[in-house]
Amino acid sequence: MSADPSVTDVIRDADGCDRCWWCGTHDDYVTYHDQQWGWPVDDDRMLFEKICLEGFQSGLSWLTILRKRENFRKAFGRFDFEKVARFNDATVERLRKDAGIVRHRGKIVSVINNARQAIRLKEKHGSLANFFWQFEPDSDAVVHHRDDVAASTEQSTAMAESLKKAGWTFVGPTTCYAFMQSMGIVNDHLRACHVWEPVDQARRRFVRPTG
């Protein structure tokens, strides 16, 4: 049963909870929405994993990537960028034959390249978290309607430009903003969503990484 989309753009599931429209009623998507999307993260491995998966998502749905996520983790050494940076051409060809992931050569090569750049970024900033969280907006704009959810922002554009300057690939402003939303750098749950308040509280308690 749906709430009035013209008012809130949330959907009411069988459990009686109002959720952001995009998670639909898929169990795995609902779990991701409730337990992961928007909660603040400062773990470098998780941050690297997510920005890589956002790159793989380009042109696809996030649900497709989500359902292959464990396969991606196995294929890319749990996204330990120190390990991924040592992947070579033979690894690329092996991954291109892995039906459990998205077999796009450019995106596979991009993850390996970005792992090497991540090492340099960590050396420069102390951690990936230090780098990524510097792009957090000064204040959250509370989102009430789905049409108000941005595809990119000034901050995501700045992040993308900084990453590209550092040699990263598949990191455009839209990809970076999707990353910011998922890692809790912004809280883009709709205000009527039952997760908005706990995520807001978690972000208030969260100790921002500093260089």
Nearest to 52 by CA among 6, 107, 105: 107
In the chain, the amino acid numbered 74 is K
145 Cβ contact list (under 8 Å, min separation 6):
8, 9, 190
CA atoms 97, 47, 151, 71: torsion sign: positive
Given the residues 29, 37, 62, 133, select the one marked as catalytic. Answer: 62
Q: Is 177 a catalytic residue?
A: no
Strands 10-12 and 18-20: antiparallel
Q: Is 62 a catalytic residue?
A: yes
Given the residues 29, 49, 54, 168, select the one marked as catalytic. Answer: 54
197 Cβ contact list (under 8 Å, min separation 6):
none
Given the residues 32, 39, 136, 161, select the one marked as catalytic. Answer: 32
What is the distance between the alpha carbons of residues 128 and 44, in angstroms, rounded to a whole number? Answer: 5
Active-site residues, by number, are: 32, 54, 62
